[in-house]
Amino acid sequence: MPTILITGCSSGFGLETAKLFLDKGWKVIATMRKPDASVLPTSDNLTILPLDVTDPASVADAIAQAGEIDVLVNNAGFGAAVPIELIEPETAHRLFETNTLGTLAMVQAVLPSFRARRSGTIINVTSTATLRPLPLVGVYRASKAAVNALTESLAVEMQPFGVRVHIILPGMAPGTKFGENAMPHLRGEEDADYKPLIDGMLARFRDAEGPITHAGDVAEAVWLAATDPSASLRIAAGADAVQWMAEAG
């Protein structure tokens, strides 16, 4: 029975991915900063572990408790919607600490085992926001674009060792908690220069029309990456993500 470890499983993409892999009969190690067993079905194949990807001791403890895994999904992330001029240094630091350095820490934690076994799959969840310039998410985009670059280089480095590496690029997902968690960091709503831009972007996210990404789309994309050796390095998740990737070439 293959084993998958997924970070950020308390809601959204991570939660749906954990549910899908449980349904498929996999052993699932679902990690959360604050473990909550109530969000997932009871299963003998499920283990819930505490994990803060920004804490080296927490990363080491989780990997030690997990034991041998076959697939790592780096899904834990943090978002902030704020103009670049106004973003607080602490918020910018947290974006890179969680999204970029947290992913790097998890990758480094599993690679010795994967490389020794000449097998394993690493799946990093980023964003189609990295494919085009968007206002209010510049620093967030930068933190996720850094993961794209890291993953692309990692794929080349791991090819001789039989370790597969993939990037999942979700589109706009208004049904998740991402926007809700990002809003407290917003600045500039009362600034006459920034207010029209902010109001327009908030309305676009709140009243999303046309194709969007659902959490289940990301779970299916992760399933493809985990189970199909021919899957591409970059995988779009969601109808809008497919469209954005096609336009980006």
All domains of the chain in start order, with CATH: 3-248 (3.40.50.720)
What is the spatial distance between Cα 169 and Cα 144, in angstroms, rounded to a whole number? 10
Closest CA to 28 of 55, 51, 9, 56: 9
Quote the mean pLDDT of the chain: 92
pLDDT 10s digits, 14-35 = 999 999 999 999 999 999 999 9
pLDDT tens digits for 160-195?
999 999 999 999 876 555 555 555 656 656 778 888
| Beta carbons of 119 and 70 less than 8 angstroms apart | yes
Q: Is 144 a catalytic residue?
A: yes
| Residue 3 and residue 70 in contact, taking contact as beta carbons nearer than 8 Å | yes
pTM above 0.85, yes or no: yes
Cα 135 from Cα 121, distance rounded (Å):
33
Stretch 218-236: mean pLDDT: 98
Q: Is 166 helix (H, G, I), strand (E, B) or coil?
A: strand
Could you give the dihedral angle defined by the CA atoms of residues 99, 78, 215 and 135, in that order, rounded to the nearest 10 degrees?
-100
Q: State the catalytic residue, choosing from 27, 140, 194, 195.
A: 140
Looking at the chain, the whole-number percentage of residues with pLDDT higher than 70 is 91
Q: Of the ranges 91-95, 117-121, 199-203, which one carries the lowest mean pLDDT score?
A: 199-203
- Which entry of 19, 27, 144, 194 is annotated as an active-site residue? 144
Identity of residue 128: T
Residue 27 annotated in active site: no
Q: For residue 26, which of 6, 8, 49, 7 has the smallest C-alpha distance?
A: 6
Region of poorest pLDDT, from 65-74, 103-112, 143-152, 196-205? 196-205
The position carrying tokens 């964003």 is 127
- Look-up of token digits 């799959």: 121
